[in-house]
Chain A
Amino acid sequence: MTEAEQDQAFSDAIARFGDAIARMARGYEADADLRRDLEQDIQVALWQSLAGFDGRCALGTWVWRVAHNRATSHIIARRRHTQRHWSNIEDVDLAADDPTPFERATSEQATALILSIIDRLDPPDRQILLLYLEGVAAAETGEITGVSPEVVATKIHRFKTMLTRRFARTGDAL
């Protein structure tokens, strides 16, 4: 790939996935300044990596792998200083607050709960849920993460169950 082609592929990737990368970064870094640094690091990593992009996988798969892997490096490095503990989603337990009907929950409340769940997760589960939130299909998520589609479906089911317990009463629409 020539540098001009690399530049073009990068521009295409940012145009298609830029905002999704910014949303993904929220799942890895809560601090706004550090998140901005992470977003910039991801852009640099993406441009560098595209020199080796040969089209054997979809551009989206490539972009997600690079973005999640760079973000994983970021949180591993941060953990050395913050001593955070992560779990599988099966081991995450929400506080037993009363469920709130979704129509009464603000978007900020819902997003905060989603982020609070994601923040506790091991990178592999975190990646699966962030890809689900972006609407990436289970098969592609499996290709990106190296996990079988069945495992993807199981993790997403667990996540949706947690949201249901918290936000939805019988018949609520979330």
Chain B
Amino acid sequence: MTSPNDDSVHSVWRQGGDALKPLPLAEIKSRARVFDRAIGKRNRREYFAAAFVTLIFGLYALILPDMLLKIGSLLVIAGGFVMVWQLSRRTSRPDPGAEAADVRAYYRARLVTEERMLARVGLWYIGPLIPGLALFMAGLAGQFDSALGFAAFAAIPALVILGIWLLNRHAADKLRQQIARLDNGPEGEWK
């Protein structure tokens, strides 16, 4: 077999695809001022989830009679706000200065940021919700006839939270492997 001809490969590549649609400079400057647009889009799913939690537990706080349930609901809402704040703070923001670095250095820095975020998810993502959920569950405990029934009920959210924590820890492990692969590639692979 013959090796591919560079010009042919380049030619094939250049034939496809649409041309870039340039943004007007005024639009670019406007978007540059609204710097967090991409981050806002990226975290939209979490923001919707937080809004849903606020709505549901807000209703609970209004209509449920028990004081523990009311306080627990309000603490869950507060925890949701803390979680969203932490999410927007911890997701690395595009940095126009850093983006001019060589792509390997930039990629490694991004992986490290993501790894730290996922490895500590118990602290900033799950942790803020725990006090409110614990209080809410304590408020519900009195409505169960048996401790076993309550334990079975409480196990459901506990398992969901455990699952989220384990999934994120697993993702952090994979990111650590990627970082190690970058750092410990074959001798001479990286400058």
Contact = CB atoms under 8 A, between A and B. Distances in A.
Interface of A: 7, 10-11, 14, 18-19, 21-23, 26, 36-37, 39-41, 43-45, 47-49, 51-53, 62, 65-66, 68-70, 72-74, 76-77, 80-81, 88, 102, 107-108, 110-111, 114, 122-124, 127, 133-135, 142-148, 150-151, 160-161, 163-165, 167-174
- Top 3 closest A-B pairs, CB basis? A146-B104, A146-B102, A48-B96
Contacts of A10: 25, 28
B115 to A, nearest CB: 11
13 contacts: A10-B25, A14-B22, A23-B16, A37-B41, A74-B38, A76-B110, A124-B104, A134-B10, A146-B104, A151-B188, A165-B1, A172-B1, A174-B9
Contacts of A40: 23, 31
Contacts of A144: 102-103
B3 A69 contact: no
B65 interface: no
Interface string B89-109: 001101011111111111100
Contacts of A143: 102
A101 to B, nearest CB: 11
A146 to B, nearest CB: 3
A102 B9 CA distance: 11
Contacts, number: 177
Nearest to B189: A151
B48 interface: no
Given A10-B25, A65-B103, A81-B45, A146 B190 contact: yes
Contacts of A45: 94, 96, 99
B29 A47 contact: yes
Interface residues of B, number: 55
Contact of A68 (B15, B29, B103, B188): B103
Contacts of A70: 94, 99
B17 interface: yes
A169 B9 contact: no
A62 B103 contact: no
B178 interface: yes
B145 interface: no
B18 A22 contact: yes
B109 to A, nearest CB: 10
Contact of B15 (A41, A80, A111, A124): A111
A171 B2 contact: yes
B4 interface: yes
B13 A39 contact: no
